[in-house]
């Protein structure tokens, strides 16, 4: 289903529903190079909804691709010479020094918690297991405190 709003010059495209995904309506404005999914604006390249709009209107989608994806701009990006950064021992001395903030740094050893566990923390399948020592449910010989 496609609808065209002539006043706003906006196309509404319904995507196909497939395995619980899709079935959404996206609004495509070719004039503003914008789609409600946000991909066209973010990537500067028509999204699938915009491409469907182009197909319906008989327009080549490549006319809506940003000029920065052209070969000319690509070559211009890498036309300048640049020197790769060498080993750290060859770097010039810096006028400042960096000091690490160790306030949130992890420490070695096992993580400890102050939270007390109760029945709500135990999965129902685990509650059905029986202790190998006393044959009672709700705990086991390694963790006798689960039921407390």
Give the tens place of pLDDT for each residue, 18-72: 777 778 888 999 888 899 999 999 999 999 888 988 888 888 999 999 999 999 9
Among 56, 72, 88, residue at a domain's last position? 72
Both 6 and 61 in a single domain?
yes
**CA angle 126–128–130, rounded 5-degree value:** 95
Does the residue 110 lie in any domain? no
Query: Which domain range does residue 122 map to?
Result: 118-148
Contact 65, 50 (CB under 8 A): no
DSSP 147: G
pLDDT exceeding 70 applies to what percent of the chain? 87
Side-chain-facing half-sphere of 97: CA atoms under 13 Å: 2
Does the residue 96 lie in any domain? no
Does the residue 122 lie in any domain? yes
Does the residue 82 lie in any domain? no
The predicted-structure confidence for 69-90, as pLDDT tens digits, reads as follows: 999 999 998 898 888 888 988 8
Does the residue 98 lie in any domain? no
């Amino acid at each position: 289903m496609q609808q065209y709003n002539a006043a706003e010059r906006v196309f509404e495209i319904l995507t196909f529903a497939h395995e619980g995904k899709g079935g959404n309506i996206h609004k495509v404005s070719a004039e503003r190079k914008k789609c409600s999914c946000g991909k066209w604006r973010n990537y500067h390249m028509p999204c699938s909804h915009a491409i469907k709009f182009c197909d319906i209107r008989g327009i080549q989608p490549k006319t809506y691709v940003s000029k920065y994806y052209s070969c000319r701009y690509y070559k211009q990006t890498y036309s300048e010479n640049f020197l790769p950064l060498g080993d750290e021992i060859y770097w010039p001395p810096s006028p400042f020094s960096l000091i690490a903030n160790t306030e949130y740094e992890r420490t070695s050893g096992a993580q400890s918690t102050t939270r007390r566990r109760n029945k709500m923390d135990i999965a129902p399948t685990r509650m059905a297991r029986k202790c190998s020592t006393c044959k009672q449910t709700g705990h086991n010989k390694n963790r006798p405190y689960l039921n407390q």
